[in-house]
Amino acid sequence: MNFSWISTYWPLLAAGAVQTVLLLVISVTLGFILAIGLALAQINEPRAIKWLARGYCTCLRGTPLLIQLWLLYYGVGSLLPLIPGLRASFLWPILREGFFFAAVSFTLNYAAYEAEVLRGALLAVPKGELEAARSLGMSPAQVLRRIWLPRAIRIALPTIAGEIVLQLKATPLAFTVTVMDLYAVAYKIRQDTLLVYEPLLVVTAFYVFLTLLVTRVFRIVEAQVPIRR
C-alpha cells in the first residue's frame, strides 16, 4: 500500500469532495421542495394532476439514474444549442457544464423517490389532528404549513435519512458526465499513478464518513422531537 500520492493530490481531493457535497446538498434540498409538491399532487384532486404526478414518480423510479443522466447530458444537451440565442446568452457557461446536468437529473430523481416517502407520511398523520386544526379555523394552507407537513416530515425522518444516504451513493455517477467529483478525482489519480486500489480506498473512506455524518445528524434531529410509543 502506497499513500505517498496524497501529499501532491490533496487539493484535488478536497475540490472533489466539495463537488460531491455540493451535488448532494443541491439535489437533496431542491428535490425535497419538489417532492412536497409531488406528494401533495398525488393525494389531492384533480385527477389529471394526480396521474401526472404518479406517472412522473413511476417513470423516474423505473429507469436507472445513469440513463436519466445520459438522456439529459447527451440527449437534451445536444438539443440545447438548437435553441436560438441560448449560446450567446449569459446562461450558456452554466448550461454547458456537466455539473448542471448532474445536479438537475439528481434533483429530479431524488424528488421522485422522496415524493413516495412523503406521500406515505402525509397519509400517516392522524386524521384527528387535521380535523382539530380545521375546526380551529385554519385555512388549508395553514393546516399544511403548521400541522400536516411538520408531522409528516417527523414521521418520515428515518426514511429521509436513508434516502439521503442512497443519494450520496449515487453521486459518483456524475463522473460519467465530466464532473470532477470525488470519484472522478480518484479515477484521475489511478490513471496518473497507476495505483489500482489506494485511491479507491481513500475515496471510499470519505463516503463512509459522510454516511456516518448523515446518520448521526439525523439521530440528533430525531431526538429533538421524540415519538411517543
Partner 1 sequence: MSSALSLLELLSPYPPGWGGVLIAGALSTVAISLGAYGIGILVGLLGALGKLNGNRPVTAALDLYTTAVRAVPELILIVGLYYAGTDGINRMLLALGLPAIEINGFVAAVAVLGIVQGAYMTEVFRGAILAIPIGQIEASKAFGMRPSLRFRRIVLPALIPNALPGLANLWMSVTKDSALIAVVGYQELALATRLAAGNTKHYFLFFFAAALLYLAITLVSNVIFSALELHFRRGQPKIA
Q: Which positions lie near partner 1, rule CB under 8 A?
A: 58-59, 61-68, 70-71, 74-79, 165, 168-173, 175-176, 183, 196-197, 200, 203-204, 207-208, 211
- Burial grade of 136 (CB within 10 A; 0-12, 13-18, 19 or more): exposed
- Residue 37 or 64: the one with the smaller Cβ distance to partner 1 is 64
User: Of 34, 60, 58, nearest to 170 (Cα)?
Assistant: 60
Q: In the complex, what is the shortest distance from the CB of residue 221 to partner 1, in angstroms, rounded to a whole number?
A: 20
Q: How far from each other are the two terminal CA atoms of the chain, in whole angstroms?
A: 50
- Residue 77 or 120: the one with the smaller Cβ distance to partner 1 is 77
Query: H/E element holding 22?
Result: helix 6-43
Q: In the complex, what is the shortest distance from the CB of residue 56 to partner 1, in angstroms, rounded to a whole number?
A: 12
Q: In the complex, what is the shortest distance from the CB of residue 180 to partner 1, in angstroms, rounded to a whole number?
A: 15
Q: In the complex, what is the shortest distance from the CB of residue 53 to partner 1, in angstroms, rounded to a whole number?
A: 17
- Residue 32 or 73: the one with the smaller Cβ distance to partner 1 is 73
- Residue 142 or 211: the one with the smaller Cβ distance to partner 1 is 211
Q: In the complex, what is the shortest distance from the CB of residue 35 to partner 1, in angstroms, rounded to a whole number?
A: 19
- Residue 33 or 205: the one with the smaller Cβ distance to partner 1 is 205
- Burial grade of 168 (CB within 10 A; 0-12, 13-18, 19 or more): buried
Q: In the complex, what is the shortest distance from the CB of residue 134 to partner 1, in angstroms, rounded to a whole number?
A: 25
Q: In the complex, what is the shortest distance from the CB of residue 58 to partner 1, in angstroms, rounded to a whole number?
A: 8
Cα-Cα-Cα-Cα torsion 122, 123, 126, 131, nearest 10 degrees, comes to 80
Spacing of C-alpha 195 from chain mean position? 31
The span from the CA of 179 to the CA of 171, in Å, is 10
The span from the CA of 189 to the CA of 172, in Å, is 15
Neighbours of 55 (CB within 10 A): 10
- Residue 79 or 141: the one with the smaller Cβ distance to partner 1 is 79
The grid coordinates of residue 124 equal 400517516
User: Of 157, 174, 49, nearest to 109 (Cα)?
Assistant: 174
- Residue 100 or 175: the one with the smaller Cβ distance to partner 1 is 175
